[in-house]
Amino acid sequence: MMEWKGKRVCVTGGAGFLGRHVVDALRARGVAEDQLFIPRRADYDLTLEKQVIRLFDDAQPDVVIHLAAEVGGIGANRDHPGRFFFANASMGLHLIEHARQRGIKKFVQAGTVCAYPKFAAVPFREDALWDGYPEETNAPYGVAKKSLFVMLDGYRREYGMKSGVVLMVNLYGPHDNFDPHTSHVIPALIRKCVEARRSGADHIECWGTGSASREFLFVEDAAEGIVRVAERMDDPVPINLGTGGEITIKKLVETVARLSRFKGEIRWDASKPDGQPRRCLDTSRAAELLGWRAQVGFEEGLARTIAWYEQQEHVREVVYGDANTLRA
């Protein structure tokens, strides 16, 4: 296992939803504050090569954990397919190449369940990653992410660069993005149900038919898995991080409504897309290679997330602007 003592660690996206939990996990392992470098979007636009060079000049990292991404739910993916491909591909391309040039000790790349083929056999196994094209709504984002897996594999074979990669299901938990348009389904539903309860609304509206199924992972469990990949993996073998269980969107909405104490009607807009029919990961490789399994039960994680949301005066909202910039 890689030792953290004396290592300088750069966590892109380290101030974001997943990143802050990864940083907490690194601190718990003894990584000192002066050894952590957390670039902010306002200071470094990682889609630009010259700013990636400046980042490496400033950070001088031994380890890079690349979590920064431009991503969202079905609506955001439908509205920004070009931006999502460009931003995610360009960030990874520049970071990996300049990490190679600088001889960093380890590069960890965060991937996504959106990379899997639309009709992959459930549960998704890592070996099926290239067995078909992803669900069309998420394809630009998913393809951009898994192309970086190929790059890391090539760099390992040609240059000996050590790396690790993970494929994660939708995450949820405190500090998530709660913008109603750009967020993923759980924070969007929590906000919708809590606001409806507070305003006395008699119903909420949800996209699709509710028949699609999804798998969700509590963010603290994901952070632990990512840090273990950094510690234990030298080769970019894709590793799924998930719970191994799925829930229909209909059941999810009903559960969030119950835990949010919203008692009104749930109305479905079948004119809106459901997205990929099913998503559920086989997590046996993570158990075998990392000794990792999800620890937080789904209802416990939802209850903790709802409680956190209800205590906030302001929550994180990610908005895509007219000039292809991101405000958070």
Q: Say how many C-beta atoms besides its own lie within 10 A of residue 102's C-beta.
A: 15
Distances (CA, A) of 188 to 50, 91, 184, 300, 318: 36, 27, 6, 18, 12
Helix, strand, coil percentages for the chain (3-state, nearest 5): 45, 15, 40
Distance CA 215, CA 220 (A): 15
Q: Which amino acid is present at 305?
A: T
Radius of gyration of the chain (CA): 19
β-partners of residue 8 are none
Torsion sign (Cα): 265, 270, 276, 278 = positive
d(CA 163, CA 99): 11
* Catalytic residue of the set 116, 133, 141, 159: 141
In the residue annotation, 116 being an active-site residue is answered as no
Q: Is 310 helix (H, G, I), strand (E, B) or coil?
A: helix
Whole-angstrom distance, CA of residue 177 vs CA of residue 188: 8
Residue partners of 50: CB distance under 8 A and separation at least 6: none
**What single DSSP character describes residue 10?**
E
CA dist 242 and 296 (Å) reads 11
Secondary structure string (H, E, C) spanning 116-163 = CECCCCCCECHHHCCCCCECCCCHHHHHHHHHHHHHHHHHHHHHCCCE
Q: Measured between alpha carbons, how far is 108 from 166 in angstroms, rounded to an integer?
A: 8
Catalytic residue numbers read 141
